[in-house]
Amino acid sequence: MKSVNCIQFIKKHRILSLFVFFVILVSGIIGIGDPYMSHVLIIGGIYGFLAIGLNVVTGLCGQINLGMAGFYAIGSYTSALLSTKLGVHFLVAFPVSIVFAAIAGLIIGYPALKVRGGVYLVLITTSFASIIQTILTQWVSLTNGPMGVVGIESPSFFGLTVQSLDSWLILTYFLLLVAMIVGMNIEHSRIGRSLKAVRESDTAAQSLGVNLAYYKILAFVISAAFGGAGGSLYAYYMTTVSPDIYNMNLSVQTLTMIVIGGVGSIPGSILGGIIIAVLPEMLRFLGSLQMVVYALLIVMATILLRRGLLGTGVDAIRFFKKALMGGASNG
């Protein structure tokens, strides 16, 4: 019965439980004291922003989006240019980067309305990401072309500069916690319910009074905003950005994150992001077989974990909960 009460408490105090979980997670990572693993987990946390964004437009709204690398790039380069060319502080550059990425989501969301079927959406979104990468490469006077932007200043708060890996872990996972809370609130709000209705059926959603055009574009805007937030954070963490980072592989990786974590699951997005960052490092001892085994594990997870790792875990908890309650009633 204590286990059942614990589960009920977590459900009732979801935000508090998430906060405690993140405090324990970050404390544990810092306690390990491995600089390289800390770096990998920071990247995994940044990936979480991308995965949350994709889960809004794909998991909740059912719109295929393989252009997340483009939104990520816009967030990165906006922060990089504001920091290096204008000396803008992180607290200003970070939200401005989110707004710029959201505007890009608005622009790409409109033509996405004009097509039907996943194939055409894939073409539009991948073309968008390719165009952004080309602009970043060719517009040398602004972006420094293939050489990228260097010398991005680290964020500072109250005279304290975020430079150490421990401070970056705290900042990344704090912002990720905020992003997850925002994402979960969207999911359980009227917006989230409308997006799910669109995902299930355009016709049924319209019959319920859902404005298809508005909510499909809104899904792209929200998705882009999360991607821009992740891109901005990445630029400040790495202190340098270059166009080669924002390629098609990143967009496919983001799709893999939500499949592993759970399509439509906001917390699962974070789990997927961390796994995609950590798993290749765990398999590094395999040498030349590393990427082969990595790919096989991804395929197996896609086939066997149809609801993602988080969904499978929730199912397991429900199973044991029923077993515990059944045992208690029999007793």
The whole-angstrom separation of Cα 326 and Cα 320 is 10
- pLDDT of 9 reads 46
Query: How many residues are there in the chain?
Result: 331
Number of H helices and E strands in the chain, helices first, is: 15, 4
> Which residue would you say has higher pLDDT here, 325 or 8?
325
pLDDT number for residue 3: 44
- Tokens 């959201």 sit on residue: 102
Tell me the two tokens of residue 126.
């991948």
Q: Tell me the mean pLDDT in the region 323-331.
A: 58
Q: What percent of the chain has pLDDT over 70?
A: 82
Q: Tell me, what's the pLDDT at 16?
A: 56
Question: What mean pLDDT do residues 50-64 have?
Answer: 91
pLDDT of residue 237: 95
Binned at pLDDT 50, 70 and 90, residue 1 comes out as very low
Q: Specify the number of domains making up the chain.
A: 1
Query: Which two structure tokens, joined as six digits, stand for 274?
Result: 């961390």
- The residue ranking higher by pLDDT, 103 or 62, is 103
- Can you tell me the distance from the alpha carbon of 176 to that of 156, in angstroms, rounded to the nearest whole number? 18
More confident residue, 259 or 309: 259
71 CB-contact burial (10 Å; exposed 0-12 / middle 13-18 / buried 19+): buried
Averaged pLDDT, 5-18: 52
Residue holding tokens 């909740």?
A: 60
Whether 236 has a pLDDT exceeding 90, the answer reads yes
**pLDDT at 164 (0 to 100):** 87
**CB–CB of 269/278 below 8 Å?**
no
When pLDDT is cut at 50, 70 and 90, the band that residue 331 belongs to is low
Q: What percent of the chain has pLDDT over 90?
A: 40
**Predicted confidence band of residue 11 (pLDDT cuts 50, 70, 90):** low
* Domain encompassing residue 217: 2-330
| Nearest-angstrom CA–CA distance, 264 and 272 | 12
Residue 324, pLDDT above cutoff 80: no
Residue 242: count of CB within 10 angstroms of its CB: 20
CATH number assigned to the domain comprising residue 58: 1.10.3470
Task: Indicate whether 2 pLDDT > 60.
Answer: no
* Residue 155 per-residue DSSP state: P
- H or E stretch at 160: strand 160-161
The residue with tokens 């908890």 is 317
Buried b (16+ CB within 10 A) or exposed e, 288-326: eebeeebeeebeebeeebebbbbbbebeeeeeeeeeeee
Average of per-residue pLDDT values in the chain: 84
**For 85-107, what is the mean pLDDT?**
95
Of residues 201 and 97, the one with the higher pLDDT is 97
Do 57 and 225 contact (CB within 8 A), yes or no? no
**Contact by Cβ (8 Å): 72, 50:** yes
More confident residue, 317 or 167: 167
Phi then psi for 150, rounded to 5 degrees? -125, 165
Q: CA 255, CA 65: separation in Å to the nearest integer?
A: 9
- Give the type of residue at 209: G
DSSP string, 80-91: HHHHHHS---HH
